[in-house]
Amino acid sequence: MSSPQCIGIIMDGNRRFARERGLSLLEGHNAGSEKLKEVMRWAREAGIKHVIVYAFSTENWNRSKSEVLYLLRLFKRILTRELTAIKRDGFRVRCVGLLSRFSRELQKIMQNAEAETANLPGPTLALALSYGGRAEILDAANRALKNGEKNLDEKTFRKYLWTQDLPDPDLIIRTSGEKRLSGFLPWQGVYSELFFTKTYWPALSRNEFFGILKEFGDRERRMGR
């Protein structure tokens, strides 16, 4: 059975998970952050080198002010108070997205988390924050033009992507029952195997996660050949 080296995860269903259990939406997001810790440990156990998670999209800025503020505090907590645990587990942190939309304080926190974990054994946890696939492609194209690039090929264009130092995902998992990518890694995911589960993100179990990996290993990936 082949094992993926890089996986992408659309962590969907936190709010529905909370509603069905009589919890606040904020408690649902907190449960989702706890699940991420578990999944990273499962990923390491499975030998996965990189995990890219869709944590906050460019469209998520349009949610209620209270929810956005809570999510920003949650990101800050994960990258500060929980950084010691992240380092103890050996995870490398990367933050990718339109990071200029965040406060200078949060940007510095992101940079510090990346710097403090850069030399750890991994796996890499890449947080897609203020991320949108179209925004990434447009930003890459504009920066390439600004640098005077001409006759771009895929290899050169890749250097301008926010994920330029990360491999393309072998598979992308979306929880909660939705069957779309919602702007997640459109350039990088052209040959990714796609898995959709009705399970809400905070309820994802170890058995289901490893079951997805087993199904991935059983698939024949022709990559256009």
| Pairing label, strands 6-10, 50-57 | parallel
Alpha-carbon distance of 85 to 91, in angstroms, equals: 9
166 to each of 33, 42, 120, 127, how far by Cα in Å? Answer: 22, 20, 15, 12
The yes-or-no verdict on residue 223 having pLDDT over 70 is no
Number of domains forming the structure of the chain: 1
- The pLDDT confidence band at residue 143, using thresholds 50, 70 and 90, is very high
Phi-psi region of 199 (alpha: psi -120 to 50; beta: other; left: phi over 0): beta
Which residues fall within 8 angstroms of residue 2, CB to CB, at 6 or more apart? 216, 217
Establish if 225 belongs to a structural domain.
no
The confidence score (pLDDT) of residue 59 equals 96
For the question of whether the overall pTM of this predicted structure is more than 0.85, the answer is: yes
In a domain, 224, yes or no: no
Quick check: is 1 in a domain? no
Q: Which range of residues forms the domain containing residue 161?
A: 6-216
pLDDT at residue 61 greater than cutoff 70: yes
CATH number at 120 reads: 3.40.1180.10
Give the mean model confidence (pLDDT) for residues 197-221.
Answer: 95
Give the residue ranges of the annotated binding site for substrate: 13-17, 29, 57-59, 61, 63, 174, 180-182
pLDDT of residue 1: 55
Structure confidence at residue 141 as a pLDDT band (50, 70, 90): very high
pLDDT digits (tens, 9 = 90+) for 18-54: 999 999 999 999 999 999 999 999 999 999 999 999 9
Tens-place pLDDT, residues 78-134: 999 999 999 999 999 999 999 999 999 999 999 999 999 999 998 999 999 999 999
Active-site hit among 30, 60, 112, 151: 60
Q: Does residue 222 belong to any structural domain of this protein? A: no
**By percentage, how much of the chain surpasses pLDDT 90?**
94
Kindly state whether residue 115 falls inside one of the protein's structural domains.
yes
**CB distance 12 to 53 below 8 Å:** no
Q: Is 109 helix (H, G, I), strand (E, B) or coil?
A: helix
Clarify whether 60 is annotated catalytic.
Answer: yes
pLDDT for 98 equals: 97
> Is 149 within a domain?
yes
Residue 177 lies in a domain: yes
Percent of the chain, pLDDT > 70? 98
Band of pLDDT at residue 3, cut at 50, 70 and 90: confident
Active site residue 12: yes
Tens of pLDDT, residues 160-183: 999 999 999 999 999 999 999 999
In a domain? residue 38: yes
Residues making up the annotated binding site for Mg(2+) are: 12, 193
Per-residue pLDDT tens digits for 74-91: 999 999 999 999 999 999
